[in-house]
Structure 1
């Protein structure tokens, strides 16, 4: 599995503390020099930087970089621009994105901020397949919890951050076990009342 990231890598840092992630993630690719490089190296994960200014440039660079290399089972994207072109065509169904809002509400660059601006009563996150649209691919895993007006925006954001950490670990485990189908359904998953749908497997929960 390969992680695509262009940020501080805070979710990645928490996820790589879990064995299931360290065992399955082989490479982190960035489109610029960023803190995620240091995060990956601290956990013993290889890093490649492909300097690019746009999503299309990065997509083309990714396609060229992986051409002729061993097959990638899954790309886990925390990349903030749209992926497109031959890269998306080649790896369709093997690229997932992590978004800090309960899609289809509040797509785009500031999902959490737009959730607050809209006055939503729930905050949350979504993991979905990547397609040509802006956060329009089939959802795989979603989380939602009530927005707490007694907390600061930063405290509510931290709750979404923790959701995304747990979701990252769970999605890695599900794909490693071959349990996710192209429509986003997870074989053997439970759908009991929970913050997460499908429910998380307990053994991959973070502290």
Structure 2
């Protein structure tokens, strides 16, 4: 009884090669190899050009936005003296650097610009007894709030948006490179399988 010849299995795809291999002329280089190399170089160049431009544009827009916000805050907020209506909690580590930066919500009473007495919640240092006076920022509506944005805050926030814009461009370029590489690799594997399907019968057919 004759043994049946098992169907030919396609060999594994070509092993990965160093990036510079795609730049050298040789019989094994495919058109997709050169295309992938040029696409990678083009995307890298685009990221290097676009990222700084995006950072400058976004940073400038953010800086103008926060400057407008700070001007509006300066017109609608003011600093005043308020009186604590009750003791504030003591910090568990008195005298520490953490205590100096810690603030607790507390009820305070103050006079508005119109001479009316208002009570609100404000963030105050720990360990203050009732009746102590503190400086707080309030809105024209009489609610405690944060002081207007400082120049340092405007600068740091603008730089943060600029950095995010540059990172976004870089991630977009990386994603585009990954997608094109994936598509070209699938095409290479499909071409490899097609070529093997045409060649395999000549290797496996008994003479």
Q: TM-score, normalised by structure 1?
A: 0.24
* Structure number, greater radius of gyration: 2
Q: Which structure's residues are more often helix, by fraction?
A: 2
Q: TM-score, normalised by structure 2?
A: 0.24
